[in-house]
Structure 1
Amino acid sequence: MTEIVEGLSLNLATVRQQWGFVEAVEGCLRHGIRAIAPWRDQVAAIGLDEAARIVRKEGLQVTGLCRGGFFPAPDAAGRQAAIDDSFHAVDEAAALNADCLVLVVGGLPESSRDIVGARQMVTDGIAALLPHAIAAGVPLAIEPLHPMYAADRACVNTLRQALDICDALDPEKSGALGVAMDVYHCWWDPELEAQILRAGPKRLLAHHICDWLVPTRDMLTDRGMMGDGVIDLPAIRRMVEAGGFSGPQEVEIFSAENWWKKPGDEVLATCVERFRAVC
């Protein structure tokens, strides 16, 4: 019987070029990984009902569903469409009994240079989504992205910014709104430890791990396997544990020229090995 790897989750983007949802779950089970974080397109490919059935049958923890968000848009119709799509994402996360719905909030609307206005659209979009998420029992996790993504993917770029939104919309720290802290995006932040402690257990909803390669050849699809780059992963793990986070560390690696080209079982075996050795 395969030994269960406690404290490790696999974001299924890590093997999205090798496997679909079913094959990825089967691979995780072979390697003792009992927690996953799927993407909505992977779930849609086999159907939400079937994905939820597999999760229940195998007793898997779903550490997050990726993703809702992308709230900024040039007009009201576009902004409402993003909110409506995120409503569906909440329902999908509820069906999967996910620990949270990850929000990648979106960048500047087309032809805009108004990043302040874009950030207000993000806050307004989350405010519109939050009552539905509360009713569904799905916490929302804002994921701040590295500043290099500010224009096109996420105009919320630090934990401080994400937590400011949380405090504005959920001042009671109800557990309904928090952050997904991805080391790839946040490792450089001089306020990282202070903001993790500020977040605390009510706001720390997910912890994503990988590594930052030097050089990084592509800002989206050249993440490193843990231990291959410059991030002090043990130090950040100590920070999140001091902040009260006790959930699994979720490996999320986009790697077009390396890990996506390797056999899925080799990728998972390496994830387990590195998780035990360097995280």
Structure 2
Amino acid sequence: MRNTPLSDLEVAELLADAARAAILPHFRQAGLETESKLEAGFDPVTVADRAAEEVMRDLLSTHRPADGIWGEEFGQSAGKSGRTWVLDPIDGTRGFISGTPTWGVLIALTEGAGPVLGVIDQPYIGERFVGMAGMAHATGPAGKMPLRTRPTRSLDQAILFTTFPEVGTAEEGAAFRAVSDRVKLTRYGMDCYAYALLAAGQVDLVIEAGLNAYDIQAPIAVIEAAGGVVTDWRGGPAHHGGRVLAAANADIQASALEILRRF
């Protein structure tokens, strides 16, 4: 029997495993009930979202009872340690209910100025992207491999992602399109999986607006550990959400910021 407590990374992996088990029985199943959190518009939530967050909260109450929790579905629970676990049980519920494997479980541990550990987990594919100081790797069908963002590239050679074509407000959409007009390729609709691809060295930029803290804190930790940069559209901290720019390196970030700052 193990007498030593689990490390933070082990706790994060345990949460991700439990969330997988709670979610997968509902994915691509007929009759999945979906509710909208909005009276006007569509912001879906399912039983899988709630079940995954509940099981992660239960595990944290056992393994990290002094830590706070901030989850998308059940809000904030204060802790005593000064540390908070930030949970998005299904980032990309629209993709989830559509059957696309672009959604993911987001788990972050934040201390002080921002996240220090992050997990982006895609249960259906079986891929997990993990990042913390001194370590960034992915596990999946191809085994375990290190994560490293792409080297410096000019903006006209970059691949850019966002989730929604309109991005946000009309002004935010115009700012995004100004960057999009300069890159080699723009793609849409990947939710948190786009950030995982950036950390894995497959794409160069992700630009979004209107994010919450639980949407971005895990991607920040993973991308920064892999050598990338995540800021707001003015180059400041992004861990509270809002307008977010994730970049493979500081040079391509600077090129995108030069355009975004005009709006």
TM-score by length of 1: 0.27
TM-score by length of 2: 0.28
Return the structure number with greater strand share: 2
Return the structure number with greater helix share: 1
Higher relative contact order (CA 8 A, sep 6+): 1
